[in-house]
Every structure is written in C-alpha cells, then in structure tokens.
C-alpha cells in the first residue's frame, strides 16, 4: 500500500533548501541508498525496513492494500522466469489525500491450502515490512481520483518497485525531470507563455554540474534537523566571538559576501589579512558544519569526509553560497596517516574548534571518544573548545514485555515444548540499540534521572562509576532501562538525542530477570563507563 509517513520522509528526502543559512543548490540531489537504481555501481537492497505499527508518528494509508505478484516456490520454471521477466506496471487508485512518502510491502506465506503466515503491519509478527521510499516527484500531494503508478520487477533477486508516478484526471507527476518539464509545457495556456518557457529551457546553463549524493538515512535525517545545525552555528559563533573580543564575529550572508568580493581593492596586501581561526569537523559521515563555520568570519574550516561524492557535493554547496575558492579544505588530504586524524592544522598553529562525534546513531557512545577528547584538548588554542563540551546520559525504569520477548527466548510454550532457550540466550546482547522510545510499547515506572556525565573539556568532572537512586513512581515490574543523551555544546545550547527531530536512536539495557517494585520505593542503579562501554546494573 502507498502511505504518508513523516518519519520515513525525513529519513529519505531532504525537505529543506536552507540549513542554518546555507543554501542547498538545486543541482545537488540527495538520495538514500534505498532509492538507488538497478544500474547503480554498488548492488544495494532497493528498500529499507520498518515495523510500521511502531514507527514514530504512525502512518496514513493512502491506498487500499494491493497484490504486487504471486510466486510459486514449487514451480521451478516460474522462478527462473522472474530473472528475465520485464517490469510489470501497476496502477492503484488513491482513497485518501495526503503526501506520498513510500510504498510499504509485506507478504502472505501460504504454507498449504489451510495455513498461512502474514508479515502485515496489522498483525503482531516478528517481521518488519519492506519500505520503498518515493522520490523525484514534482508534487508529492495526492488525492482521491489520482492513481499511483509503479513498475515492479525481480530481475536481480531483489523485489524492485521503481518509476513511481502519480496519474490523475488533471495532471501526471512523473519521476523524471525532463518528463515534468514536458508536461509543464503542454499545460501552458498561451503562445507567449510557451515561447517564454522554451527560452528559459534554452538559456539554462549547459555546463551546470548535476550531482547525486547518496546519504545514509540517518545522514538525511541529520540534514533535515534544523535545531542541530542552528545549535552548532550559535555555539561556534560564541566561541569565535570570545576569541576576538574587539569585534563580534557575525555571520555573513550571501549579499554581504558578494559586496565584499566586489568592493575589495587589489592593493590590499596579504600582510593585512588576519590569521584565520581553524575549525576541524571530525564527525563521521556527511556534515555541512564546516561550511556553516565558514560563514562566521575569518575561519578556515576543515572537513573529514572520506567519500569523493561527498567532497564534490560540499564543494558545490560552497560554490552555491559564494565561498571563495579553497575556503573549505578536506583534512584527510593533509594527513599522511588516516588513523591519526587529530593533528595540528599547521606546525605552528592550533585549532579554535574541534567537532567530535560522541554518540553513534544507534544510541551508544562512540568507541575511544574520551581518548580522542584527550588528544583534542592538547590541540586547542587558548580559549578553543571541543564540541560537544560535555554529555549527560539520562535513563528511566520501564516495564516492557516487548523488549523482554525481543531480547531472549521465553520458556518452551512458543517453541512447541522444545527447550532451546538455554542455548539461544547465550548469544543475547546486553544492550538493545536503534530503539524509538517514543513508540516503544512500555510503561514508565520512574521519571528520567541523570546516569552519567562525560566531560570532554574538563575530564576531572567525569563520573565513570556511580550509584544512582531512582524513585519509583508506579508499581510494576522493571524489565528494562532505556537511555539517551543531552549533548551540551555549551552551558546554554543543548541537543537532545531523544527529540522528535533527532537523527539518533535510543538504546536500552534489558534485565535478565524482572524486578517487582512498588510506588514510593527506591531502586539503586550502579552505572559504569569503561573504554566507551556503559553497563547498568541494579544493586540489590
């Protein structure tokens, strides 16, 4: 079925054209791996997966359920034909108006004439559903009377749903740019409008570089997170301003930059140019924070991105925002040993700001982060800062039968009397990751409490081992302790990894044995942080 789902949308489509004052150019197209075509250089799964009945914010079905294909696994000839069969076209009527974000696929497994299993989101099942994000439409809004069109194939052992378009009595919204332009031309009402449109097409820049940038879904969600980028922009401005007390370090918009470039006189000597502030971003994956830093005055930003397509994209974004050439540097080109990224910018210079990745998207603390922070502190100029400056870890006690059942085999009833739990449960992990606490079926038994402090700037304030008393607010059985983080760029600017806009997920410690608690009691937790690993146990 076709669905509207804001959570899928923010992980697979960049929904903003301006990030903290940085313009994202139209010649750069961001895609998630699930949107890659069959002709892509790397073979990747053309879908992602979600438990749709647990997706944050829910979803809205825009079409009825429809059958994509039937496969008889006992028919060898039919299975062979799938690899050569041309894509089949399907058209599905729209029953509700909304934003077309994805096509959700599940299966009915017919075991025999009487027994079947379904992976539908309406059934409580161990399976997730396959998500095919919709992209490249001129207009994603659909309404009753429209039809969602798609091509379905299984030529490379993957079920592919491609070329999704919308057809209605008044319009047809295709998946290709040229297709959309042709339809726009046909809809013009006068000869003058037609001539004008043709002129615009002919005068478009023939040498404009079109760049497709493949980002992980968490990277797209991060790009859509305006609070994250605005927070970093404010924090960086405050640090740079404190290093230049004689003048405020103000952000330069495009107009100001153009005026400066046009009004500058060639007679200015290089000696009159002040030494820049050096900013290093060593966060993992795609990041535009170095470009944001470059708008904050006399700054020399360095990015640590590794992929060529990401570097090309950052160069195009810099160009679109009228950055002087060579303003943005790629740090790995200056480092002989990529394992030793944390070095001085120059032999006689130090960094003003170093941005570190402290929390993984999964909800865990990055490995060796405290060691990286220790090195970074030695590379900062006086008054320089590491971002984030410190991190507070929060958690609460919950009763969640879902986490219990998904973490270990429970008894013998569901395994037809076979006692496999003792063997299988030897391989269970102590911490569940990639959780969405907002949609996790659970009953909170306490209020959130601070569990741990990681201070990257002032290490003597760290709490690597502590006991935390937790007041019980509701009677029940404690089965798990979910946790998340507040990342402080400074004492006033904070990023919450559990917020709705966050690209981070949450994690949880699942107890081996539930603990019965009564309202008004206190439970004591022992929290330890050692070599980037966190353990939480209940003191009894």
- What is the residue-wise DSSP string for 121-166? TTS--S--EEEEE----S--EE-BTBEEEEEEE-TTSS-EEEEEEE
Q: What band does 202 get if pLDDT is binned at 50, 70 and 90? A: very low
Please give the average per-residue pLDDT across 18-22, as a whole number: 95
* CB-CB contact of 363 with 433 (8 Å): yes
- pLDDT of 171 reads 55
pLDDT at 398 over 80: yes
Cis amide linkage into residue 388, ω under 30° from 0 = yes
Minimum mean pLDDT range among 48-57, 255-264, 402-411: 255-264
CA 524 vs CA 8, 410, 442, 452, 538: distances in Å: 38, 27, 21, 14, 6
Reported as a pLDDT band with limits 50, 70 and 90, residue 396 is: very high
How far is the C-alpha of 466 from the C-alpha of 340, rounded, in Å? 33
- Closest CA relative to residue 321, chosen from 273, 264, 251, 240: 251
Region of poorest pLDDT, from 134-143, 166-175, 305-314, 518-527: 166-175
What pLDDT band is residue 235 in, cutting at 50, 70 and 90? very high
Angle subtended at Cα 428 by Cα 426 and Cα 430, rounded to the nearest 5 degrees: 120
Backbone angles phi, psi at 382, to 5 degrees: -60, 125
Say whether pLDDT at 470 is over 90.
yes
- Confidence at residue 53, expressed as pLDDT on a 0 to 100 scale: 94
Q: Is the pLDDT of residue 346 over 80?
A: yes
- Are the CB atoms for 454 and 539 separated by under 8 Å? no
Radius of gyration (C-alpha) of the chain in whole angstroms: 27
pLDDT (mean) for 285-296:
95
Average pLDDT rounded to a whole number, residues 516-533: 93
Mean local confidence (pLDDT), 419-438 = 92
Per-residue confidence (pLDDT) for residue 472, from 0 to 100: 97
Task: Please report the pLDDT score of residue 255 as a whole number.
Answer: 39
Higher-confidence position of 208 and 476: 476
* 450 and 464 Cβ atoms separated by less than 8 Å: no
> Token match 């040498």: residue?
207
Burial of 230 (0-12, 13-18, 19+ CB in 10 A): middle
List beta partners, residue 142.
Answer: 98
* Position 265 pLDDT exceeds 80: no
DSSP string, 206-272: TTPPPEEEE--HHHHHHHT-HHHHHHHHHHHHHHHHHH-TTS--PPP-HHHHHHHHHH--TT--GGG
The pLDDT of residue 22: 95
The encoded tokens of residue 347 equal 């032999």
Within a 13 Å sphere around the CA of 56, how many CA atoms are in the beta-carbon half? 20
Question: For the chain, which domains are there?
Answer: 2-168 (2.70.160), 217-241+275-388 (3.40.50.150), 391-538 (2.70.160.11)
Integer angstrom CA distances of residue 332 from 280, 303, 335: 11, 8, 5
Examine the pLDDT at 489 and tell me if it is beyond 60.
Answer: yes
Would you state the pLDDT for residue 461? Answer: 83
Query: Please, which pLDDT band fits residue 279 given cuts at 50, 70 and 90?
Result: very high
Q: Is 69 helix (H, G, I), strand (E, B) or coil?
A: coil
Percent of the chain with pLDDT over 70: 85
Cα 281 to its chain centre, rounded Å, is 18
Distance (Å, rounded) from C-alpha 5 to C-alpha 456?
Answer: 37
Cα separations (Å) of 143 from 6, 69, 96, 166, 207? 17, 25, 6, 10, 38
**Is residue 349 within 8 Å of 487, Cβ to Cβ?**
no
Q: Is 253 a residue whose pLDDT tops 50?
A: no
Span 7-32, average pLDDT: 94
Tokens 């993984």 correspond to what residue?
Answer: 360
pLDDT of 70 higher than 70: yes
Residue among 51, 43, 227 nearest 126 (CA): 51
Using alpha carbons only, what angle is made at residue 60 by residues 59 and 65, rounded to the nearest 5 degrees? 110
| Predicted TM-score (pTM) of this structure | 0.85
Average pLDDT, the chain: 86
Nearest of 218, 204, 243 to residue 381 by alpha carbon: 243
Using one digit for the tens of pLDDT, what is the confidence trace for 47-59?
A: 999 999 999 999 9
SS3 251: coil
Highest mean pLDDT among 74-83, 178-187, 320-329, 485-494: 485-494
């Amino acid at each position: 079925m076709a669905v509207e789902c804001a959570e899928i949308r923010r992980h697979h489509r960049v929904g903003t054209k301006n990030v903290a004052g940085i313009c994202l150019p139209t010649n750069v197209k961001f895609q998630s791996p699930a949107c890659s075509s069959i002709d892509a250089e790397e073979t990747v799964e053309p879908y992602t997966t979600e438990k749709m009945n647990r997706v944050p914010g829910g979803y809205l079905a825009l079409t009825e359920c429809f059958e994509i294909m039937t496969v008889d696994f006992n028919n060898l000839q039919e299975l062979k034909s799938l690899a050569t069969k041309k894509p089949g076209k399907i058209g599905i009527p729209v029953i509700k108006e909304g934003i077309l974000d994805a096509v959700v696929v599940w299966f009915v497994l017919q075991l025999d004439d009487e027994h079947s299993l379904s992976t539908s989101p309406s059934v409580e099942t161990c399976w997730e559903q396959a998500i095919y994000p919709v992209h490249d439409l001129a207009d994603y809004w659909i309404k009753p009377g429209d039809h969602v069109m798609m091509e379905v194939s299984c030529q490379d052992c993957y079920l592919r749903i491609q070329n999704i378009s919308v057809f209605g009595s008044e319009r047809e919204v295709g998946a290709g740019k040229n297709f959309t332009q042709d339809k726009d031309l046909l809809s013009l009402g006068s000869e003058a409008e037609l001539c004008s449109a043709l002129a615009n097409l002919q005068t478009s820049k023939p040498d404009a570089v079109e760049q497709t940038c493949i980002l992980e879904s968490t990277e797209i969600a991060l790009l859509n997170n305006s609070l994250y980028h605005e927070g970093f922009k404010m924090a960086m401005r405050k640090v740079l301003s404190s290093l230049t007390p004689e003048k405020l370090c103000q952000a330069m918009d495009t107009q100001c930059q153009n005026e400066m470039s046009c009004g500058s006189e060639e007679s200015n000597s290089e000696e009159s140019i002040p030494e820049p502030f050096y900013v290093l971003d060593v966060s993992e994956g795609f990041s535009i924070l170095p470009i944001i830093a470059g708008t904050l005055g006399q700054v020399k930003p360095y990015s640590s991105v590794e992929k060529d397509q990401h570097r090309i994209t950052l160069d195009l974004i810099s160009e679109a925002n009228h950055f002087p050439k060579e303003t943005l540097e790629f740090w790995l080109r200056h480092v002989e040993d990529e394992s030793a990224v944390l070095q001085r910018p120059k032999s006689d210079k130090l960094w003003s700001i170093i941005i570190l990745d402290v929390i993984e998207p999964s909800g865990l603390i990055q490995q060796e982060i405290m060691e990286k922070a220790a090195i970074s502190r030695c590379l900062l100029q006086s008054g320089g800062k590491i971002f984030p400056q410190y991190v507070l870890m929060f958690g609460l006690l919950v009763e969640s039968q879902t986490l219990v059942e998904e973490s270990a085999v429970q008894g013998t009833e569901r395994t037809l009397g076979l006692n496999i739990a003792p063997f299988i449960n030897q391989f269970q992990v102590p911490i569940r990751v990639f959780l969405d606490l907002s949609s996790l079926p659970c009953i909170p038994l306490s209020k959130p409490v601070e569990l741990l402090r990681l201070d990257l700037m002032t290490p003597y304030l760290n709490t690597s081992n502590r006991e935390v008393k937790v007041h019980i607010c509701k009677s029940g059985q404690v089965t798990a302790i979910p946790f998340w983080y507040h990342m402080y760029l400074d004492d006033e600017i904070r990023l919450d990894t559990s917020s709705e806009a966050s690209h981070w997920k949450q994690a949880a410690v699942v107890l081996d044995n539930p603990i019965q608690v009564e309202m008004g009691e206190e439970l004591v937790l022992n929290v330890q942080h050692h070599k980037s690993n966190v353990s939480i146990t209940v003191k009894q």
